[in-house]
Structure 1
Amino acid sequence: MEFESGEAAKTFYIAYAGRVGFSVRIARSRRSKCNESIIMLRFVCSREGFSREKRIIAGKKTRKRAASIREGCKAMLEVIRRGDERWVVMKLMKEHNHELGMPREILVIAKNFADTRNLLLNGQDSQYPREIRYNDLGPDDAQNLLEYFKKTQADNPFFYYAVQIENNNCMTNIFWADSKARMAYYYFGDVVRFDTKYINDKELMPIVMFTGVNHHQQPVVFGCALMVDETEASFTWLFENWLVAMPALPPVSLITELNRTMTSVVAKTLSQTHHCFCKAHILSTIQEELPDLFSEHIPFQGELKACIDESETIDSFESCWDAMINRYCLKENAYMQSLYNIRHQWVPVFVKQTFLAGVPGSQRCENFDKIIEKYFTTKTPLRTAVRQLSQTLANRSEKEAQAEFVTLFEKPFLRTASPMEKQAAGIYTRSIFDRFQEEFVESLGYHVDKIEDGPISKYRVMKNEIDDEIYSVDFNSTENKAHCSCFMFESSGILCRHALRVFIINGVRALPNNYILKRWTKHAKSGFVLDDYARYNDLCRDAVRCAREGATSTEFYAVAKDALQKAINEIVSAKLKRGQQTLQSFITSQKKQTKKVVKITPNKDASGKNLKKLTSTKLLAENDIR
Structure 2
Amino acid sequence: MDNSQDEVSSQPGNCENYDSSRPVEEGSTQHHVGLAEPYIGQCFDGLDAVYRFYNAYARKLGFGVRKNSSTFSKVSGDRIWKNYVCDKAGVKLSRPSDSLEEFKRRRETRLGCLAKLDVKKCAPDSWIVTNFIKEHNHQLDTPRRTIKHRSHHISHKSVVAKILMEQLHGSGIGPSTIAKTLNATGMDNSISAQNVTDHVRHQRKNHVGFQGLHVYQYLQAQQAKDPNFYFSLELDNNDILRSIFWADSRARNDYIMFGDVIVFDVAYKTNNLLLPFAPFTGVNHHRQSILLGCALLSDETEETFTWLFQQWLKCMFEKAPSAIITDMDHAMYNSIQKVFPNTRHRFCSWHINKHLLENVYEMRNTEGEFIRDYKKFYNSRHVVLSETRWAELISKYQLQNNKWLAKMWDLRRHWIPAFFKDVFVAGMTSTGRSESINSFFDGFVNSNTCLVEFLKQYEKALESRRHAEEVEDYMTMNSKALLYGNTSLETHAAQSYTKTMFKLFQNEFKEILCCLHEKVSCVDNTKTYVVGLSSEDKCKWFEVNFVNTDPIYITCECSKFETHGIFCKHILHILFKKQVSQIPTHYLLKRWTINARNLMIYDSSKLDGINHNSVTLLMKWRLVSLCTTLIEKISGDEESFKSLYSYISQKMNEVNNTGTGKAIEVVGSQVGSTSMAYDHSAISIRDPIQAKNKGRPKIASRISSGIEESQLKCKKRTCGNCGDKGHYATTCPKKNNVSSFYLKFIYFSMQFD
The TM-score range, normalised by the shorter chain, is: 0.5 to 0.7
What is the identity, as a one-letter code, of the residue corresponding to 1:492? H
How much has 1:503 moved relative to structure 2? 1.7
Q: Does the Cα contact within 8 Å between 2:444 and 2:461 map onto a contact in 1?
A: no
Q: Which residue pairs with 1:354 in the alignment?
A: 423
How much has 1:156 moved relative to structure 2? 1.6
SS in structure 1 opposite 2:243? strand
Structure 1: distance between partners of 2:212 and 2:413: 41
Aligned 1:160-559 pairs, distance under 5 A: 160-198=230-268, 204-247=274-317, 249-290=319-360, 292-293=361-362, 298-299=367-368, 302-303=371-372, 305-307=374-376, 309-359=378-428, 361=430, 363-365=432-434, 367-455=436-524, 456-464=526-534, 467=537, 468-478=539-549, 479-526=551-598, 527-528=601-602, 533=621, 536=624
CA deviations 1:218-276 (Å, max 9, x no partner) are 11000111111222221111111101112573211111111222222212211221111
How much has 1:310 moved relative to structure 2? 3.8
What is the identity, as a one-letter code, of the residue corresponding to 1:411? K
CA deviations 1:507-563 (Å, max 9, x no partner) are 3222111101110111210114879526648999xxxxxxxxxxxxxxxxxxxxxxx
Q: Cα–Cα, structure 1 residues 202 and 575, in superposed 2: closer, same or farther, change >3 Å?
A: closer
How much has 1:574 moved relative to structure 2? 11
SS in structure 2 opposite 1:475? strand
Structure 2: distance between partners of 1:335 and 1:252: 28
What is the identity, as a one-letter code, of the residue corresponding to 2:559? F
Q: Cα–Cα, structure 1 residues 139 and 360, in superposed 2: closer, same or farther, change >3 Å?
A: farther
How much has 1:403 moved relative to structure 2? 1.0
Structure 2: distance between partners of 1:279 and 1:270: 21
Q: Cα–Cα, structure 1 residues 508 and 368, in superposed 2: closer, same or farther, change >3 Å?
A: same
RCO comparison, higher one (Cα < 8 Å, 6+): 2
Structure 1: distance between partners of 2:275 and 2:447: 6
How much has 1:191 moved relative to structure 2? 0.7
CA deviations 1:47-74 (Å, max 9, x no partner) are xxxxxxxxxxxxxxxxxxxxxxxxxxxx
Q: Does the Cα contact within 8 Å between 1:204 and 1:376 map onto a contact in 2?
A: no
Structure 2: distance between partners of 1:362 and 1:398: 23
How much has 1:422 moved relative to structure 2? 1.2
Moved more, 152-161 or 218-227: 152-161
Structure 2: distance between partners of 1:221 and 1:449: 45
How much has 1:148 moved relative to structure 2? 1.1
How much has 1:494 moved relative to structure 2? 0.3
Moved more, 531-540 or 236-245: 531-540
Q: Cα–Cα, structure 1 residues 298 and 138, in superposed 2: closer, same or farther, change >3 Å?
A: farther
SS in structure 1 opposite 2:331? helix
What is the identity, as a one-letter code, of the residue corresponding to 1:476? V
How much has 1:142 moved relative to structure 2? 2.8
Gaps of 5+ in 1: 1-134, 541-563, 577-626
Q: Cα–Cα, structure 1 residues 139 and 491, in superposed 2: closer, same or farther, change >3 Å?
A: farther
SS in structure 2 opposite 1:193? strand
Find out whether 1:144 has 2:233 as its counterpart: no
How much has 1:398 moved relative to structure 2? 1.8
Q: Cα–Cα, structure 1 residues 194 and 488, in superposed 2: closer, same or farther, change >3 Å?
A: same
How much has 1:475 moved relative to structure 2? 0.8
How much has 1:378 moved relative to structure 2? 3.2
Q: Does the Cα contact within 8 Å between 1:213 and 1:359 map onto a contact in 2?
A: no
Structure 2: distance between partners of 1:166 and 1:143: 14
Structure 2: distance between partners of 1:217 and 1:570: 44
**TM-score, reference length from structure 1:** 0.61
Q: How many residues align?
A: 419
SS in structure 1 opposite 2:320? coil
Structure 2: distance between partners of 1:403 and 1:565: 35
Q: Cα–Cα, structure 1 residues 369 and 293, in superposed 2: closer, same or farther, change >3 Å?
A: farther
Q: Does the Cα contact within 8 Å between 1:205 and 1:378 map onto a contact in 2?
A: no
How much has 1:304 moved relative to structure 2? 6.5
Q: Does the Cα contact within 8 Å between 1:488 and 1:495 map onto a contact in 2?
A: yes
Structure 1: distance between partners of 2:544 and 2:388: 24
What is the identity, as a one-letter code, of the residue corresponding to 2:375? A
How much has 1:214 moved relative to structure 2? 0.3
Q: Does the Cα contact within 8 Å between 1:136 and 1:379 map onto a contact in 2?
A: no
Aligned 1:560-575 pairs, distance under 5 A: 568-571=652-655
How much has 1:140 moved relative to structure 2? 2.8
How much has 1:306 moved relative to structure 2? 1.8
Structure 2: distance between partners of 1:539 and 1:421: 34
SS in structure 2 opposite 1:453? strand
What is the identity, as a one-letter code, of the residue corresponding to 1:350? F
Q: Which residue pairs with 2:14 in the alignment?
A: none
CA deviations 1:439-489 (Å, max 9, x no partner) are 122112211111101221110112127524210001101141111000000
How much has 1:165 moved relative to structure 2? 1.6
What is the identity, as a one-letter code, of the residue corresponding to 1:460? V
Structure 2: distance between partners of 1:366 and 1:269: 24
SS in structure 2 opposite 1:392? helix
Structure 2: distance between partners of 1:338 and 1:201: 35
How much has 1:312 moved relative to structure 2? 3.8
SS in structure 1 opposite 2:278? strand
Structure 1: distance between partners of 2:621 and 2:564: 28
SS in structure 1 opposite 2:597? coil
Alignment identity in percent?
31
Moved more, 458-467 or 272-281: 458-467
SS in structure 2 opposite 1:198? coil
SS in structure 1 opposite 2:519? strand
How much has 1:307 moved relative to structure 2? 3.8
Q: Cα–Cα, structure 1 residues 295 and 200, in superposed 2: closer, same or farther, change >3 Å?
A: farther
Q: Which residue pairs with 1:154 in the alignment?
A: 224
Q: Cα–Cα, structure 1 residues 492 and 239, in superposed 2: closer, same or farther, change >3 Å?
A: same
How much has 1:361 moved relative to structure 2? 1.7
How much has 1:490 moved relative to structure 2? 0.2
Q: Does the Cα contact within 8 Å between 1:446 and 1:464 map onto a contact in 2?
A: yes
Cα RMSD of the aligned pairs, angstroms, is 3.4
Structure 2: distance between partners of 1:447 and 1:390: 52
Q: Cα–Cα, structure 1 residues 462 and 288, in superposed 2: closer, same or farther, change >3 Å?
A: closer
What is the identity, as a one-letter code, of the residue corresponding to 2:543? S
Q: Which residue pairs with 2:732 in the alignment?
A: none
Structure 1: distance between partners of 2:626 and 2:449: 32
Q: Which residue pairs with 1:109 in the alignment?
A: none
